[in-house]
Structure 1
């Protein structure tokens, strides 16, 4: 199988606008798909001109609404438009459409014969906008009418299990084919098209002229494909790593890890793997023979049940954020504690927390790593959590106090406010004025507090913004992310991130 191509979807209303988008991304792509269903009625009359204007291989697609497109005309009009796109073929085939996308149930011999005569390959596609497709080889064989056609299956997995099945079933296909996942679990199939043997992967430009529905299909930005995921260099020898969690909407871990691989000249890639089940993520990693996984919320505690061995830190903290997949099985580590300790000491400009009263907000997997580090640094802490029993379990482990996170224990929070550490996911991705995303909105800052929020997206959560306005020193979790990622990188590769 050849290296998968990068295909840019063009969804503007005019040919000129589409050409402008194509020029902007030309260096990052191999071909483009002209979505003629997005063109205005007048512009559709001139689609035949576009391949010569573009200067790269172009797919002609006029997608029906039922298949995720926006074409609302009748089938006779759509067929006539396809014929217009193929008409007056040039002897210079680069000026013709290189491909035409025809749905599996569209059987128009004249279009098919014209495509064959003019050297235009047919992509024979099926789309399931609501569910996955099982038995990919059988489905491909069913929709592939001739050996000249490229069968395409685009489906919408309901879980990572469906994605795992797609990878297993697609890898064995020994002819040109296209497979892609849409929706929440789409990214692995888009970035790792080489592993499914897909002929191409679709991408879309971010921002202007991108239809919201198309974005929801899971298309990746073409620049990200190249500069973040190093798509063109992925081959059968590429080592795979990733981060798993749910909803996994705001993570910079791929940026850090993939930059490390590039700096050290490693043939490796690190991708986001959204999953609401850590078992599904580990199974997926096994199918793709991945070398390591970063574990984030909400899986840092659940993952323990599936590990073959753990580091002393994991055994004490009872939370794991790093899994190394080796010959002896799955080994769990916790780099959050070390990353947090380094980041915190740099922020506070101290050597330890001896004699300092610290409030830890939350009692989940991240809080466990933070509590471990605070105890190691000799701090005196109180754990505040909405569920008191969880706060007690964590606090008693280190001889800390514990309390309910609410106005009833505001006085205690004031007492432990020299340093306030926010460890929950509340505030992640929040807007500037989203007061509901402030886990201690009831607390009035005096300006003497130092506030650390482990969230780094946004740069300033509503909590940090409010604390800063009151005169407090603040720090977000980006430095913690970097330090823990550097340690993960070393565990994954055996090489220090920074020499």
Structure 2
């Protein structure tokens, strides 16, 4: 089977809007899907002209609301619209629709015969917007009424295991063109690794209309090409990734994939979203993923599944990197080295770290790596956490103080305020006004002499950083820590210095 195609879905309200988007993203896609169900009613009458107005082969789709579309009219009206769009075929096939999408239960012989007569390939589709679909191979075989049709199955996985099943079944499907898509956050690998699933094409949406397809997990065509090197992925490409939940935003793929391109390594790094670390590891084993970054909330729970631990992981009790060698998972911690390098740059060469009194906000996996580094640098610290017992357990390990993370500990925080290190996810993706919900130390009043290091990097300035900066404090986000720990991961994955 050939290299999979990139299909960009157009969901504008007017033909003109869709044409402008097709022109903007022309070099990033191979096929355009005109979603006529999104067009204004008067614009739907113009769809016959669309293929002649763009430079790519086109799919005509009029998706019913029951299948995730916007068409709420009756089947008779929809059939008339299909007929209108396929009629009066032009001798130049480029001016006709190249494909038409019919659901598996939509069988109108006259329309199907017209499509086949005019050389329009039929995509026979099946969508389940809420549940996984199993027996994919058998289902695709049944959907192919003729050898001319391309069966398409798109479903919403409940777990990452449903996505594993997609790749397992698709590995045996090499006899005919087919399209298999797992939707949603957990289904993202099926859109990036289309060449591995032997799928005929993958679907994307332009950034301008991403909100319309966010729930089903479409990727921007520029991101798919430039970040994930979609056209360069083959069955021989080495696979790496980052796993966590919900893993809404991450800059790690940009860092790692840039490194692969720079060194000419045939590899791709992509998000592996799951609510269970056991499923992430199973996914990796089934698809031969050779290494993963591990983020919230799995840095501690992953330890149970590892066969070997680096000395740092054994000491810290948390792992942010796993590598698979000889069918065994080996755990490493690069957070500690990444944090140390970023922190020392932030503090500057003139700052003496020994005996500096530091507040560590949080007691999770990241905090464990940071506490390890703080102790290594000779600092004194107090661990602040909402659950005091958790803070105490971490503090005892390094002979630190512990305190409850609330307004009752404001004076203790003030005592350990020469450096405040924020290690929780509070403030992540928080673009709105500062509030107790997005500022973990909302009760603390900055004097302006504190230094604040927040390991969150999206947004670049978190609410607590904005508040500290306004008071005159020197602040730093976690992007440099991310970069430096990623460089260490890159070497563990590839054996090559970043």
TM-score range (shorter-chain normalised) is over 0.9
* Distance across 1 between alignment mates of 2:11 and 2:23: 14
Aligned to 1:121: 121
Task: For residue 134 of structure 2, give the secondary structure of its aligned residue in structure 1.
Answer: coil
Match in the other structure for 2:321: 322
CA distance in 2, matches of 1:304, 1:398: 21
TM-fit CA distance, 1:412: 1.0
> What is the CA–CA distance in structure 1 between the aligned matches of 2:451 and 2:287, rounded to whole Å?
44
1:102 aligns with 2:102: yes
TM score, norm. by length of structure 1: 0.98
Give the unaligned 5+ runs of structure 2. Answer: none
Rounded Cα–Cα distance in structure 1 between residues aligned with 2:200 and 2:218: 16
Instruction: Give the Cα separation in 2 of the matches to 1:52 and 1:144.
Output: 29
Structure 1 gaps, min length 5: none
CA distance in 2, matches of 1:374, 1:199: 52
1:465 Cα deviation after fit: 0.4
Q: Deviation at 1:401?
A: 0.9
Output the aligned Cα RMSD.
1.0
211 and 377 in structure 1: CA distance in 2 versus 1, 3 angstrom threshold: closer
What do the CA deviations read for 1:338-393 (whole angstroms, capped 9, x no partner)? Answer: 00000000000147520200010100000000000001101111111111111111
Which residue is 1:45 aligned to? 45
Deviation for aligned residue 1:211: 6.6
**How big is the shift at 1:184?**
2.5
Q: Which residue of 1 aligns with 2:236?
A: 237
CA distance in 2, matches of 1:40, 1:213: 15
1:215 offset after TM fit, Å?
2.4
Instruction: Report whether the alignment pairs 1:140 with 2:140.
Output: yes
1:73 and 1:225 mapped to 2: Cα distance?
A: 34
Q: Distance in 2 between matches of 1:326 and 1:211?
A: 39
Q: Secondary structure at the match of 1:366?
A: helix
Equivalences for residues 410-425 of structure 1 within 5 A: 410-425=410-425
Query: CA 1:490 to 1:231, structure 2 compared with 1: closer, same or farther past 3 Å?
Result: same
In the alignment, the residues of structure 1 paired with residue 265 and residue 153 of structure 2 have an alpha-carbon distance, to the nearest angstrom, of 32
TM-score, normalised to structure 2's length?
Answer: 0.98
Deviation of 1:447 (Å):
0.6
Distance 1:162 1:211 in 2: 24
User: Could you say which residue in structure 2 is the equivalent of 1:151?
Assistant: 151
List aligned pairs for 1:275-424, cutoff 5 A.
275-350=274-349, 353-424=353-424
CA–CA separation in structure 1 for the residues paired with 2:494 and 2:315: 25
Distance in 2 between the 1:186 and 1:42 partners?
Answer: 35
1:146 Cα deviation after fit = 1.2
State the alpha-carbon separation in 1 of the partners of residues 23 and 381 from structure 2: 57
Equivalent residue number for residue 470 of structure 1: 471
How many residue pairs were aligned? Answer: 495
Check if 1:203 corresponds to 2:191. Answer: no
- Counting only pairs closer than 5 Å after superposition, residues 50-89 of structure 1 correspond to structure 2 as 50-89=50-89
| Secondary structure at the counterpart of residue 122 of structure 1 | strand
Does the CA contact (< 8 Å) of 1:352 and 1:378 recur in 2? no
Instruction: Check whether the contact 1:352–1:379 (CA below 8 A) recurs between aligned residues.
Output: no
Is residue 249 of structure 1 aligned with residue 248 of structure 2? yes
Checking the alignment, whether the CA contact within 8 Å between 1:250 and 1:428 is kept in structure 2 is no
Secondary structure, aligned partner of 1:272: strand
Deviations 1:435-491 (A, max 9, x none): 120000001111110000000000111000000011111000000000000000010
